[in-house]
């Protein structure tokens, strides 16, 4: 089929879920080896089911709720097997409308069973995954902005060095945004935070905070302002707490903006 739509694709979902009627199974069994589209559908459905099974903690659902679900499933209309049909009745073909209805019922039952199997944890896990995705997207957007700032030739760059001359970070500054590139700063814990200071004035001015994660040297976007960009000398310190302090406890490194 080479990626085209296939009229048997919904049956392929049921095949992967082991929930087809015997006559439907026969159709898919003959059709599946020749259809790449349905083969992909089967694989995708199996991966989703495996993900659901691995993402939730298995709990026994309340007996009353399980009984209600099973009662609903038992009332789903099903075709009689051929050996139980009246001899004078011709086999009833599976109409497209009935097939779509069967697919919807199967998917609804599968979703209900997944919720039951998870004991409510599935919804919690979905929310957690959604939050993780949102956080990852936010980090990706910040990284893209920081890289764009670094690539801009008009950006001010200040290499921060320790007293012994070791380079530990680079501060990137423009009138609209700022970023820091940690080179040799140790990862900080949740009780401490790195602070960028503007050191062009008589008293250092706390400009922004940032964290350093283990193994990461990615540039990090800073909360910046036009006033912060006016500084041509910067410093960095590691401070207790999660707020900008009035003065640095100990300056780790400092440096001036490189001449254009």
**Domain contains 183:** yes
Final residue in a domain of this structure, among 119, 139, 173: 119
Cβ density class 152-170: b for 16+ within 10 Å, e for less: eeebbebbbeeeeeeebbb
Do 45 and 103 fall into the same domain?
yes
Structure tokens at 162: 């320790």
3-state SS, one letter per residue, for the chain:
CCCCCCCCHHHHHHHHCCCCCHHHHHHHHHHHHHCHHHHHHHHHHHHHHHHHHHHCCCCCCCHHHHHHHHHHHHCCCCCCCHHHCCCCCCCCCCCHHHHHHHHHHHHHHHHHHHHHHHCCHHHHHHHHHHHHHHHHHHHHHHHHHHHHHHHCCCCEEEEEECCCCCEEEEEEECCCCEEEEECCCCCCCCCEEEEEEECCCCCCEEEEEECCCCCCCCCEEECCCHHHHCCCEEEEEEEECCCCCCCCCCEEEEEEECCC
**Domain contains 13:** yes
pLDDT for res 94: 42
Number of other residues whose CB lies within 10 A of the CB of residue 225: 14
Give the domain range for residue 221.
156-256
pLDDT in tens, 37-66: 889 888 877 776 666 555 555 555 556 655
Final residue in a domain of this structure, among 70, 93, 119: 119
pLDDT in tens, 217-237: 778 889 999 999 999 999 999
**Domain contains 251:** yes
**Domain contains 131:** no
**Given a cut of 80, is residue 3 above it in pLDDT?**
no
Beta bridge partners of 194: 210, 238
**Given a cut of 70, is residue 120 above it in pLDDT?**
no
pLDDT for res 4: 60
Do 112 and 13 fall into the same domain?
yes
**Domain contains 143:** no
Choice among 7-11, 49-53, 111-115, 245-249 with the minimum mean pLDDT: 111-115
Count the domains in the chain. Answer: 2
- Contact (CB, 8 A) for 12 and 99: no
pLDDT in tens, 63-97: 665 566 566 556 555 554 555 555 544 444 444 44
pTM of this prediction exceeds 0.75: no
Final residue in a domain of this structure, among 67, 94, 119: 119
CA–CA separation, 15 vs 65, rounded Å?
A: 27
Do 82 and 19 fall into the same domain?
yes
pLDDT for res 78: 52
């Amino acid at each position: 089929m080479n990626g085209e739509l296939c009229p048997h694709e919904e049956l392929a979902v049921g095949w992967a879920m082991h929930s087809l009627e015997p006559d439907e199974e026969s159709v898919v069994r003959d059709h599946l080896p020749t259809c790449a589209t349905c083969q992909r559908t089967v694989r995708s459905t199996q991966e989703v089911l495996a993900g659901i099974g691995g993402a939730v903690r298995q709990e026994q659902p309340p007996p009353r709720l399980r009984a209600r679900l099973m009662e609903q499933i038992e009332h789903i209309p099903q075709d009689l097997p051929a050996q139980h049909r009246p001899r004078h009745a011709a086999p009833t073909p599976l109409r497209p409308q009935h097939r779509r209805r069967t697919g919807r019922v199967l998917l609804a039952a599968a979703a209900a069973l997944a919720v039951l199997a998870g004991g409510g944890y599935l919804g919690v896990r979905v929310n957690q995954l959604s939050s993780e995705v949102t956080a990852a997207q936010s980090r990706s957007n910040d990284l893209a902005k920081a890289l764009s700032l670094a690539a801009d030739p008009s950006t001010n760059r200040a290499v921060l060095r320790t007293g012994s001359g070791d380079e530990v970070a680079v501060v990137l500054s423009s009138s609209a945004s700022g970023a820091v590139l940690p080179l040799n700063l140790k990862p900080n814990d949740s009780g401490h935070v790195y602070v960028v200071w503007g050191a062009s004035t008589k008293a250092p001015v706390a400009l922004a905070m940032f964290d350093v994660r283990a193994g990461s040297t990615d540039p990090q976007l800073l909360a910046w302002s036009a006033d912060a960009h006016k500084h041509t000398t910067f410093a960095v310190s590691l401070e207790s707490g999660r707020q900008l302090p009035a003065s640095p406890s100990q300056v780790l490194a400092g440096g001036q903006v490189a001449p254009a």
